[in-house]
Structure 1
């Protein structure tokens, strides 16, 4: 037996023991959560920290840390605590502005925003714009979304094409062709 400070026994309530055993049996639980629950169950059996460390494959210091956190905070002590790091640099209002600008405004001389063009307009990094777009599922570069035309005569051309399709001249056949070579139109680019 290894010499060391005596460790008080770890006593579990029936509810805590059931919860820890449930966590150990779960196939979809995170490995770290299963390991912590296993450590506490072994400690509750009166097994010393160094033996628990050997059985679980973690250091005896880690076993001591989880035992101490469990004694202090019970089951909630086994949860991950917030980690240190740089605080958020973009506020909720700024996130809303990024989303609003992406969806409602169009850049000059372009059909859609890029992360860099929107970042330079709003004064953020392009990485921040990309994180906001990812969080909200925005993909302005994808063709499934509405695309603005940059052609200044676009409205007049649409009227001509739609007018020809809606009321063609008498005794004529109107054909519509896909102008893209090597591309097959499998679905509409715009909703009906």
Structure 2
């Protein structure tokens, strides 16, 4: 009986490069590496038996991948599609599990605040949806639609009736316009707010620095050494920070900060200086605007909408302060906190650049449109008794 001859293998230059790279790869799968080495040896003229001995595989394995490459090229080295294990759960059962995950546990009578995969698996069995199911299977089912009931995000509904108008004024200032007129070179935009209750926490044991295979270690126990309020004014387009520290917030500390900014150049002689502030008690309402303009005639106070401090750029600076200066909190006294804040402010002003503000008036219009669409849907649903949701979409008309 004649002995079958080995399939001849001839490689093109691109094929040789790809196979060589795969044969010596440290990240590719083991089986892919072995297949590439088999084909490379076959192209050099080695016999199947010699290749099998060299790579510790059977002759049939060498013959298979040699033949597949001869017939299909590089595509022949990939695994064939396989049907896999038959599914244990019907599409209806899968849909019922997803529907259960999209319900609040309280609505089902389960004393939980949110679902986890083990809880969903137990609930699915209790309800008779499936006879048995594992938590990992629940996770795979939910992953197909990116359903994550164990996570949550908080949100707040817009309730300022003039939200769109106020937000548009702030966004226009960031783009250097006001009432549709571009700002002159001697007009400035200041974003201001307070970071309250910055504590000095003196740890009961010294903080240990990081080391090899060890992170910084901060003792959990501490003694309170007091707290202070950090008031900051951030020049939006110059990326410069001014600050004032006080035992508490209020009208007097805020006006002290305004005095510090408005009595120095270029703000003292500026045509207008716009102060973007939220609705905190230190600078709330028309009374605060009048108080600022009476003290500094070229100062114009612009309020963000209610519950929209995220429109105030100084909040970004406060987040930097929190991450880089105050966390972890390990200070022996309030003086040390003040010294650290002052030193960081000088360091920041030396290299800071304006923030890349990405929320534009077009994004605002899209937000208000989505809110209006959401309200129209809610009007078609029966509101729970005692619900007093204030409309916000009419801010578009405003």
TM-score of the superposition, structure 2-length normalised? 0.32
What residue in structure 2 maps to residue 34 of structure 1? Answer: 33
Partner of 1:118: 124
- Looking at structure 1, the residues matched to 98 and 41 of structure 2 have their Cα atoms a distance apart, in angstroms, of 50
Gaps of 5+ in 1: 147-183, 185-192
| Aligned alpha-carbon RMSD (Å) | 3.1
**Structure (1 or 2) with the larger CA radius of gyration:** 2
Matched, 1:53 2:66: no
The count of residues paired between Structure 1 and Structure 2 equals: 143
Q: Tell me if structure 1 keeps the 8 A contact 2:9–2:43.
A: yes
Partner of 2:66: 67
Q: Is contact 1:10–1:71 with CA below 8 Å preserved after alignment?
A: yes
In structure 2, do the counterparts of structure 1 residues 36 and 42 end up closer, same or farther at CA, with 3 Å as the change threshold?
Answer: same
2:131, 2:65 → 1: CA distance? 40
> In terms of mean alpha carbon deviation, does 114-123 or 56-65 score higher?
114-123
Alpha carbons 1:118, 1:129 under 8 Å: kept: no
Which position in structure 1 is the counterpart of 2:137?
131
Q: 1:35 to 1:57 in 2, by over 3 A?
A: same
- How much does 1:91 deviate? 5.8
The 2-side partners of 1:122 and 1:74 are apart by 51
Distance 1:124 1:96, change over 3 A: same
Cα drift, residue 132 of structure 1: 3.0
Query: How far did residue 145 of structure 1 move?
Result: 5.6
1:80 corresponds in structure 2 to 79
Could you tell me whether the CA contact under 8 Å between 1:24 and 1:37 is conserved in 2?
yes
Q: Evaluate the alpha carbon distance shift between residue 75 and residue 22 of structure 1 in structure 2; reply closer, same or farther with a 3 A threshold.
A: same
Give unpaired runs (5+ residues) of structure 2.
154-219, 221-398
Question: What whole-Å deviation, never above 9, does each CA across 1:136-165 have from its counterpart, x for those lacking one?
Answer: 28776x6x769xxxxxxxxxxxxxxxxxxx
Instruction: State yes or no: 1:6 paired with 2:12.
Output: no
Matched residues in 1 for 2:73 and 2:128: separation? 47
Q: In the alignment, which residue of structure 2 is the partner of 1:167?
A: none
Q: CA 1:56–1:120 in 2, change beyond 3 Å: closer, same or farther?
A: same
Partner Cα distance (2:131, 2:68) in 1: 39
Give the SS at the match of 1:104: coil
Larger % of strand: which?
2
> Aligned equivalents of 2:130 and 2:44: distance in 1?
55
Partner Cα distance (2:55, 2:6) in 1? 19
Q: 1:84 deviation in Å?
A: 4.3
